Every structure is written in C-alpha cells, then in structure tokens.
Structure 1
Amino acid sequence: MSSESKDVSQTYIEHPEKIKKLYKRTLIIVVISQIFGGAGLAAGITVGALLAQEMLGTDAVAGLPVALFTLGSAGAALFVGRLSQHFGRRTGLATGFIIGGLGAIGVVFSAVFNNPFLLFASLFIYGAGTATNLQARYAGTDLAKSKQRATAVSIALVSTTFGAVAGPNLVNVMGDFALSIGVPSLAGPFILSAAAFILAGLVFLILLRPDPLLIARTIEAAKQTQNEKGMSGTTNQEENKRGVIVGATIMVLTHIVMVAIMTMTPVHMSDHGHGLGAVGLVIGFHIGAMYLPSLVTGVLVDKLRRITMAIASGATLLLSGLVAALAPGDSMILLILALSLLGLGWNFGLISGTALIIDSTNPSTRAKTQGAVDVLIALSGASGGALSGMVVAGSSYQVLSLAGGILSLALIPVVIWSRKERAAEMTQS
C-alpha cells in the first residue's frame, strides 16, 4: 500500500463516521454496477443454449454454453479474487467485467461467421463477466458490521434484478436490432451484454475510490495492534474453517441444482412450441426470483440463523424440481412457478452461504478465500450445465428436474454436521 493510501486509511481509522459514509457510498456504487452486470449475464442464460443448438443442430450440446461460461467464470473467480486480494476490489472487479464484455463481443462475431469454435472460446471468456457479477456482492460487505453483512449482500443482489429481468425481456428487441445490422438474431442479446459488462467495469474503475477492502484491511490491522498492546483477542481457526466449508457447500449445492434445471428450460420450452418471447418471460421471472427477494432474505439471514435459511433453500429447491417435473410442457403458469421457486431457493442458499463465508474470514485473507469459494460455485455450475443436456437427451426434462430437487436434500446432512460441530465446540469451551 502506498504512503498516500496509508494516509487515507489512517483518516478513516481516526474518524469512524467516515467509515459509515464510505460504506453507504460503496453500496451505491455496487448497486449501479450490478444493474449493468445483471443485464450482461442474462444473455447467456436466455439464448446461449439456443444459439449452440442452432449452430450444431442437436440438443445434446445445448447445455454446453452454460457449462463453458460457468467454467470460464471459475477461472475468472480465482483471477478476480487474487487481483482483489493484492490490489483491492476496484482493480479486480473492473478487470473482470471488461474481460467479460470482450467475451460477449466474441460471441457476436462467432454468430456472424457461424463458427462454433469461436463461440465456445468466447463463451468461456464471457464467463468472466458472470463471475465478476457474483463477486461484486462482496464489495459492499467489506465495511459492514456483522449484523449488516447479509443485508449488504442482499442490496447488491436485488439491484441486479433491474438489469437481469430487463435483459431476457429484451431478447426480441435486441434480436431485431441484430438483424438490422446483419447479425443473427440470437446474437442480439450478447450485444447488450458486451455494453453492459463494460459499463459495469468502468463504474468500478472510475468510482470505487478509496477501495473498501484496503480500508477494511487497515482497520483490522489497527485493531489487532490495539489487542496486542492490551488484552489480545483470540481467533478460532477451526471454527473459521468449518464456516467456510459449510457456506461453500450450501452455495455449491444450490447452484448446481439451479443451473441444471435453468439451462434446459429454454430448450424444453422450444420443443413444446414456445417462442423466444415466452422463453424470455419465464427466464425473466426466474432471474427476478433469484435477486428481487434479496432485501427480505438478507434481513431474515441477519435476524435468523444462517443455517435456518439454508434449510429453507433446500426445501424450496425440492418444491421447484417437483413442480417442473410435473408441469405440462405447454403450461406457462406452472413453468413460471417452477422457475420462480428455483430462483428463490438459489437466493436463500447464496445469501446464507455468503454470510457464513464472510463471518468466517478476516480482511487480510477474505478476497482470496472468496475467490476460491466462487471457483467451486462456478465449477458446480459448469457441471450442472454440461450434464443437464446429456440427462435430457438420454431421458427427459422431467427426470432432470426431479433429480435436481432430490439433490437439494443433501443440504440436510450438511446442516446436521454443522450443528453437531458447533455443539461439540460449545461443550469443550
């Protein structure tokens, strides 16, 4: 950290009211960037599978685009996490979003030249935008108090709703725009993604000063120094490890279930005669349910125990899988209900798991750990996306949905293990 940065950090240490103002300002910046980021991620979800299906002429690889950009997001999560660890949130998040925007531009060119190899490579790079959009939720928590953390995450997620819901419902508009400039219609949403991701990156690059993570790290170092001079505090590393493991497991399980069912829903709807507008509407409700309830979820996670909301996540995902499996393919209402429950269950799991990760880390290692956890989330999404197409091709969408719902029940033994470990620790203390 430069001497100028140290001086700035020292100013915040000496004036706690400035920390509160910076916390609020950081949340505003995160909200603005997440609106753009939400619009950027919607394209891959809505038309990625359809674009691959059109290029290659088979349903078996329809899940590959989501698998590729989620796999790309795994590498990007680690990269953005390491950048943030060394240089702060501003550098890491701005770089990730801009790289994701370049990947979206590559997808557009792949459609123009009808080149599947360029499509797959570009989707992999596009994944940097989705990873960064997810990691941006951490920026608002760096200066938050322990009882504000889930709420801070929820503010970031709910702001994503504005862009994420608008994105799928602009597929027809962007498709018409793409055709007007000589680009295949299915590539139109990726034009929106490119602009949205790059704008999100510029918001962080220009506005996120001073960097909240660097300030939080300095504040934590000052507290440790004070503890060493007086009564030193203790840190339970074993409890931290347990919290990270439980939080990561919750997010991985909920993510793999959500991605698997979500990926094949557009293809399932297309096979039953639904047009792009109908697909966009269902995915719009799904993404809205992923992010819009966040403010309420964040308050519940802060007020109730993190684990309570993790259990609610598993129950909601199970219900979603059952509705999706039993819904007739031509029933828009039931498909909207199933995908809305899918998004809501993911929301419960992501916010409760994220809060556990933040609770279990400190500013000196937080960004690195968060990046590593998001790698696992992305890899689980890649697995869910890749396997979903194979499952549907080998059996049916109904089997996939039912399997996803049953998999969500794996959260129960995780919760039981967590409670037993905590009880054992309390007994020993």
Structure 2
Amino acid sequence: MTASAAFDEVDDAKARRNAVFLSMSQALYGIVVTTQITLGGLAGAMLAPPGGERLATLPISLMMLANALTVIPMAMLMRRYGRRAGFLVGAFSAVIFAVVAADAIARGSFWQFTFAALLLGVYQATAGYYRFAAADTASAAFKPKAIAWVMGGGAIAALLGPEMVKVTKDLFLPVQFMGAYVALAGVSLLSIAVVALVNIPPLPAAVRAKSGRPILEIMSQRSFIVPAVCAMISYGLMNLVMTATPLAMVACGLSVNDAAFVVQWHAFAMFATSFVTGHIIARFGAPRVIAAGLLLLAACGVVVLSGLELEHFWVGLFLLGLGWNFGFIGATTLLTECYRPEERAKTQAANDFLVFGTVTLASFLSGNLFFASGWETIAVVLFPFVAVALAALGWYVLTGARRPA
C-alpha cells in the first residue's frame, strides 16, 4: 500500500475527537475576533489622528491583510510539521496581539494598535485551517459534518464574545476599551491549551515528497474556481457590511451596547446554524446550499435599505450571518473535491489567500465607503456581487465537475 493510499484511510473516531477540540478552538478564536470586530473600528476612530476618521477600520483591514499574507506560509509549515504546530503559532500570536493592543489603548497610540492587529491576522490565518483539519481524517460521509461541527463552535463565541465586551470594555475607565483586550489575553492563553490537544498526523514523508499537479492547473479547474469565487464573495460581502455596522449604528444614535447586541446575533447566525449545515449539505448538495446562502446575502441588503432602526440592523445582520454560513461552508465542502492528498496544503492555501485577500479589500473599503457615501451604498454593493457568484454556481452545475483521480 502506498503512503498516499495509507493517508487516504479514514478514522472517523479520531475525526470526531479532533472536531470537538477544533470546535472549542473555533469558539475561543471567535471570541477574540468578535471582540475585535465590535471594538476595532470604534477604538480605531477613538485613537485615529485628527482628520483621520477614514482610518478607523484600518486595524481590521490590516488584520485581514496579515491573514492573507500568512495563509501560505502557515500551510507550508503545517504540511511539514503538522496541523498542531501551526495552530500553536497562531494561538501564541493572539496572546501577543491582546497584550500589545491593550497597551496601545492605554498609551493612546493608533499605530501601535494597528500593528497589534497584524498579529491577530496571524492567528486568523491559522484558525482558518481548523475547518480543513477537521476533514483530514474524516470519511466522505462525515466530512461536511466535521467541517460544520468546527464552524459551529463559533456559536459559543457569538453568545460569549459580545457579553464579554459589555462587561470588560469599561474596566479601566477613563481608558475605554482597554479592559476588553486584557480579557482577550486570557482567552488566548486558554486557546493554546486547547489546540495542543488536536491530534492529526502530518502527511507521510513519501506524500510530502510528491508535489502533485502544478497549482495553476489545479486553480484552472471549475471545481476550484467556483467554490473559490463563492467563498470570496460570501466572506467579502459579509465583512464589508459587518465591519461598517458598529460605525453606522453609533452614527445613527444607537449605543455601543446596541452594536454589541447586533454583532452578537449576527455571529450567532453565522455559526449556530453550522450544527445542521453539514446535514443540509449531505442531503441537498453543496451547490444548492451555496445558492441559498447567496440569496440570504441579497435579502440582507433589502432589509438594510428599508430603515435605520435597531430592528433593521438586527434582522439584516442576522440574515447576513446565515448567508455567510451557507455560502462559506458550502464552498469549503465543494473545494475539498478538487485536490489530491499531496495537493492539500497548496490548494487550501491558494483558496484562503484569495478569500482573505478579498476580505482585506472589503474591510478597507468598508470604512471608506461608509464615510464617503453612507450606509446605503454598502447595502447596494451586495446585489451585483451576489449575481456574479450565482452565475458562477450556475456554470458549475450545468457543466459539472469531477473529483481528481
């Protein structure tokens, strides 16, 4: 039996154990990122130099940029040393991020706070592989469920993250928001302990020695292009709207606690559905689930354009979270059909580089669009991109695509 064939043997018992630990890791990661999404733009606006309000979302944008730039090196590191090594690097980066960010707020330093966000991007890059790691030893039947279990861990973050923001943001008054970042240091230390329990064997040396097909050949397949485009658009649009939401709500006279409430329900919609998304994909197929997600993103735009009351933000962001869940998890599942075991690392890295490069751009444009053109413009942008993703998905369904031999 070849090393590649041996690696293809599945162990659903191990996959289930890893999925539990990875789900816990996803929850802790989600608490950190939810806090940054809720407070990062507000803290950026508070710390920004005079006249620099358009820089408010720069810390979030640079977090996404660091994510995009780090996904490929982290994939190579995990290919050589295993998933756990990469996950530990990310968790340690999160601890440093939280400490540096808290100190930046205490000093009133916008640029130090922005630098800290780069470290969080490293954590985000490694955490992005939790979903792929859950599928490494899973059977074809359990794979979508394993991915969904991991993403479901974010439901815990959705409940705890915003509540932690409310409780900790004023602990060090008159230095607003510092307490939340001190609390994140503790959350990140706990993450180190949890990811250390993940047990996924690295690729055998014989498999690592194989390079597989050239990456451009893999990326030229319909089975890569379509899930990548759908993931890019689903995640990019979600981030575009989500990043601007706290700024828009405060500008409309709503409170930071109102913004935390909306982000809480948005994050809950993003992740709680994951406990059933795998079953839905197994029953109806990934393309149909992705299409449903894209239509929910468009529905978010309709709701957001209908008013500026708390309920409009709440319902709109809830639909945005559901749309992201179906679109992104469906696209992740579809992507796993386009590569061989020895091509896993580079294909996943290429996909996440494209996805988080798009998210970086969306995050940067979010603050600029909001301050230049208003909240309604951000909602309108949803519709043409949803149409592009639906067209790509239709191309995939009509032409068909096969898993590589």
Scaled by the length of structure 2, what TM-score is found? 0.89
Q: 1:198 to 1:244 in 2, by over 3 A?
A: farther
Corresponding position: 1:241 with 2:231:
no
Q: Does 1:361 align with 2:361?
A: no
- In our comparison, the structure showing a higher alpha carbon Rg is 1
Offset from partner CA, 1:308-330 (integer Å, 9 cap, x none):
111111111001011112222xx
**CA shift in 2, pair 1:395/1:99, >3 Å:** same
Moved over 6 A (4+): 237-240
Higher helix share: 1
Aligned counterpart in structure 1 of residue 101 of structure 2, from 94, 103, 107 = 107
Please state if 1:312 is matched with 2:304.
no
Distance 2:236 2:399 in 1: 26
Matched-pair contact (CA < 8 Å) for 1:289–1:341: yes
1:34 to 26, 33, 37: 26
**Alpha carbons 2:94, 2:185 under 8 Å: kept:** yes
Runs of at least 5 residues in structure 1 that lack an aligned partner in the other structure: 1-8, 225-236
Aligned residues: 390
> Could you give the per-residue CA deviations for residues 54-103 of structure 1, whole angstroms, max 9, x where no partner exists?
11255422222221111111122223212111111111111112113212
Does the CA contact (< 8 Å) of 2:24 and 2:194 recur in 1? Answer: yes
Hey, what does 1:23 align to over in structure 2? Answer: 15
- How much has 1:239 moved relative to structure 2? 9.7
Instruction: Work out the CA distance in 1 between the residues paired with 2:95 and 2:229.
Output: 30
For the residue of structure 1 that corresponds to 2:171, the secondary structure is helix
RMSD: 2.6
SS at match of 1:408: helix
The answer to whether the 8 A contact 1:257-1:404 is kept is: yes
- Name the CA distance, whole Å, in 1 between partners of 2:379 and 2:326: 19
1:74 aligns with 2:54: no
Report the alpha carbon displacement of residue 382 of structure 1 after superposing the two structures with TM: 1.0
Q: Is the 8 A contact 2:218 2:224 kept in 1?
A: no
Q: Tell me if the contact between 2:304 and 2:316 (Cα under 8 Å) persists in the aligned partners.
A: yes
Q: Report if the CA contact (8 A) 1:254-1:350 is conserved.
A: yes
CA contact (8 A) 1:248 1:373 kept: yes
Which residue is 1:346 aligned to? 324
CA–CA distance in 1 between the matches of 2:341 and 2:137? 10
| Counterpart in the other structure of 1:303 | 283
1:394 matches 2:384: no
Change (3 A) 1:77 1:128: same
**Cα distance in 1 between the residues matched to 2:293 and 2:88:** 31
Structure 1 residue 220 displacement after superposition: 10
Q: Specify the alignment match of 1:227 in structure 2.
A: none
Paired amino acid for 1:388: S
> In structure 2, what is the equivalent of residue 271 of structure 1?
251
How far is 1:376 from its partner? 1.5
How far does residue 104 in structure 1 lie from its aligned partner after superposition? Answer: 2.3
Q: Is contact 2:218-2:347 (8 Å) kept?
A: no
Q: Counterpart of 1:333 in structure 2: which amino acid?
A: E
Contact 2:234 2:323 in 1 (8 A): yes
Letter in 2 for 1:208: V
Asked whether the 8 Å contact 1:85–1:365 carries over to 2, the reply is: no
- For 1:71, the aligned partner's letter is L
Give 1:230's aligned residue: none
CA contact (8 A) 2:58 2:364 kept: yes
- Residue 392 of structure 2 aligns with which residue? 414
**Using the alignment, how far apart are the partners of 2:205 and 2:294 within structure 1?**
37
Measured against aligned partners, the alpha-carbon deviations of 1:135-173 in whole angstroms (never above 9, x if no partner) come to: 211111101111222211110011121023311122121
Deviates more, 1:239-248 or 1:25-34: 239-248
Which residue pairs with 1:133 in the alignment? 127
Identity, in percent, stands at 24
- What amino acid does structure 2 have at the position aligned with 1:186? F
Separation of aligned partners in 1, 2:35 and 2:383 = 25
Q: Does 1:147 align with 2:137?
A: no
Q: Secondary structure at the match of 1:185?
A: coil
Contact 2:145 2:278 in 1 (8 A): yes
Contact 1:264 1:388 in 2 (8 A): yes
1:384 to 362, 379, 387: 362
* Ranges in structure 2 where 5+ consecutive residues have no aligned partner: 211-216
CA contact (8 A) 2:78 2:84 kept: yes
Query: Are 1:282 and 2:254 matched, yes or no?
Result: no
C-alpha separation in 2, matches of 1:152 and 1:170: 28
Q: Where do 1:180-259 residues align within 5 Å? A: 184-205=175-196, 207-209=197-199, 211-212=200-201, 214=202, 217-218=203-204, 241-259=221-239
Judge conservation of contact 2:27–2:156 (CA < 8 Å) in 1.
yes
1:46 positional shift: 0.4
Residue type of the alignment partner of 1:346:
W
Q: Closer, same or farther in 2 for the Cα pair 1:295/1:220, shift >3 Å?
A: farther
How much does 1:240 deviate? 8.5
Give 3-state SS (helix, strand or coil) of 1:29's partner: helix
User: How big is the shift at 1:337?
Assistant: 0.5
CA contact (8 A) 1:111 1:119 kept: yes
Q: Distance in 1 between matches of 2:290 and 2:112?
A: 39
